[in-house]
């Protein structure tokens, strides 16, 4: 066997993460990650899980008893919800106006659903009335919708009216809140959303690897009425619920340290308070937008439906996307992302999420963009 090359200490560059996730992890969360492990059935750990459950109910604004986090990133949350709620042959209405809306449609198909897409161009949002009409054409088991579409920067309004339309037609509403949870209002109970999922590494600023999920009564009844057990054993939500609450039956080994990190990140959200946290995201996003505009950049999304957590300025003409982002990374240690899919080469994606959403980061990014886009003579 060839000898391994000498390995250096782990030392990635200290990036300032202003992309679509992951966001930066606060020092308190990093310290929590270094806490020694207990067993996954240790009473101390079960109490920690209970804290996480209650803190997640707080950020989701729900009393749903089935509120937990599954191992994996946001996509695991998506897979958990769909694999529990969809049975082969079920009809699903998927609202698709960006990459993640389309991923929900494709994933539902893989779970055997007959999917109808309500399609809009990338960057558009859905009117409740259009959804109401689409729901009348067939009997759907559920509809899927993205609250904060990270591929375009669109903020979907009218969730309560859409939930009402879904319920009136007999369908459940599955809502992707990956880029909104912890960054802008998500009110699962007030809006009457049946199932929602997020991700630890976006506006919650915990390490990636856990996906918060919450299910309401309709969703749990639908699971209880399944003809077959959920197709993914690992993400069986009722099985996991029996581990999270009494009688605490083993389902799979929890990623212990990840939960320490998530608990501390959620504790920070609770200490800051939801209103203050949403206000911080709004305020600094406005500062970013004004700054980008003064550099001559135009935003893809109109302000009324523009996410504060993910901004998509159009690329100025004649600008080399990869070169600018490369320089931001090499000269300023800044990460922003490019567009993809229908928006490849057309926009940048700038995230202001959780711990990354700070005044000094906005100021640095604007100064770095100015230096990169408008090099002075000196
Ligand atoms: C990031 C994201 C996902 C997927 O999450 P991963 O953590 O990358 O698996 C799903 N939906 C939206 C809206 C996202 O922004």
* Predicted TM-score of the model (pTM): 0.97
Tens of pLDDT, residue by residue over 28-76, are 999 999 999 999 999 999 999 999 999 999 999 999 999 999 999 999 9
What's the rounded mean pLDDT across residues 270-295?
98
Tens of pLDDT, residue by residue over 137-157, are 999 999 999 999 999 999 999
CA 178 to chain centre: 1
How far does the centroid of ligand 1 lie from the alpha carbon of residue 18, in Å?
A: 15
Residues counted in the chain: 378
Candidate of 179, 198, 307, 339 to mutate for ligand 1, largest count of ligand atoms within 8 Å of Cβ? 179
Candidate of 73, 74, 150 to mutate for ligand 1, largest count of ligand atoms within 8 Å of Cβ? 74
Between the alpha carbon of residue 178 and those of residues 8, 181, 259, 329, the distances in Å are 35, 6, 18, 25
Candidate of 77, 199, 213 to mutate for ligand 1, largest count of ligand atoms within 8 Å of Cβ? 199
Atom 12 in ligand 1: residue holding the nearest Cα: 178
206 with 265: CB under 8 angstroms?
A: yes
Pick the CATH number of 27-270 from 3.40.630.30, 1.10.3720.10, 3.40.640.10, 2.60.40.10: 3.40.640.10
pLDDT band for position 375 (cuts 50, 70, 90): low
Domain spanning 16-21+275-373, CATH class? alpha beta
Is the CB of 151 inside a 6 Å radius of any atom of ligand 1?
A: no
How far does the centroid of ligand 1 lie from the alpha carbon of residue 261, in Å?
A: 19
Secondary structure class of 371 (helix, strand, coil): helix
Could you give phi then psi for residue 368, rounded to 5 degrees? -70, -40
Decide if pLDDT at 78 tops 60. Answer: yes
pLDDT band for position 378 (cuts 50, 70, 90): very low
Is the CB of 156 inside a 6 Å radius of any atom of ligand 1?
A: no
Question: How is the chain split into domains, by residue range?
Answer: 16-21+275-373, 27-270
Residue linked to tokens 């001559």: 296
Tens of pLDDT, residue by residue over 299-337, are 999 999 999 999 999 999 999 999 999 999 999 999 999
CA–CA distance, 156 with 146 (Å, rounded to integer): 7
Is the CB of 79 inside a 6 Å radius of any atom of ligand 1?
A: no
Atom 5 in ligand 1: residue holding the nearest Cα: 74
């Amino acid at each position: 066997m060839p000898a391994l090359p000498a390995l250096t200490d782990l030392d990635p560059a200290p990036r300032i993460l202003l992309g679509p996730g992951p966001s930066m992890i606060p020092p308190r969360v990093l310290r929590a990650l270094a806490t020694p492990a207990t067993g996954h059935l240790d009473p101390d750990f079960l109490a920690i899980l209970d804290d996480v459950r209650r803190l997640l109910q707080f950020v989701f604004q729900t009393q749903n008893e089935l509120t937990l986090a599954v191992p994996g990133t946001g996509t695991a949350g998506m897979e958990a919800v769909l694999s529990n709620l969809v049975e082969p042959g079920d009809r699903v209405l998927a609202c698709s106006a960006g990459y993640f809306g389309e991923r929900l449609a494709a994933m539902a198909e893989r779970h055997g659903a007959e999917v109808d897409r309500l399609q809009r161009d990338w960057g558009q949002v859905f009117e409740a009335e259009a959804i109401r009409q689409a729901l009348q054409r067939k009997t759907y088991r559920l509809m899927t919708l993205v609250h904060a579409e990270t591929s375009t920067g669109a903020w979907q309004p009218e969730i309560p009216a859409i939930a009402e339309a879904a319920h009136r037609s007999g369908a459940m509403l599955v809502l992707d809140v990956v880029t909104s949870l912890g960054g802008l209002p998500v009110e699962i109970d007030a809006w009457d959303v049946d199932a929602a999922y997020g991700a630890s590494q976006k506006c919650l600023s915990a390490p990636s690897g856990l996906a918060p999920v919450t299910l309401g009564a309709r969703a749990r009844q639908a699971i209880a009425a399944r003809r077959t057990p959920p197709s993914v054993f690992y993400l069986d939500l009722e099985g996991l619920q029996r581990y999270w609450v009494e009688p605490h039956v083993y389902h799979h080994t929890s990623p212990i340290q990840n939960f320490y990190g998530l608990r501390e990140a959620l504790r920070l959200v609770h200490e800051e308070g939801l209103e203050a946290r949403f206000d911080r995201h709004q305020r600094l996003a406005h500062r970013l937008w004004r700054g980008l505009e003064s550099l001559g950049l135009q935003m893809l999304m109109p302000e009324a439906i523009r996410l504060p957590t993910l901004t998509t300025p159009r690329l100025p003409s004649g600008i080399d996307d990869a070169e600018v982002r490369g320089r931001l990374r090499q000269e300023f240690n800044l990460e922003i992302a490019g567009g993809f899919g229908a928006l490849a080469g057309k926009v940048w994606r700038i995230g202001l999420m959780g711990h990354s959403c700070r005044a000094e980061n906005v100021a640095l990014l604007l100064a770095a963009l100015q230096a990169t886009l408008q090099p002075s003579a000196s």
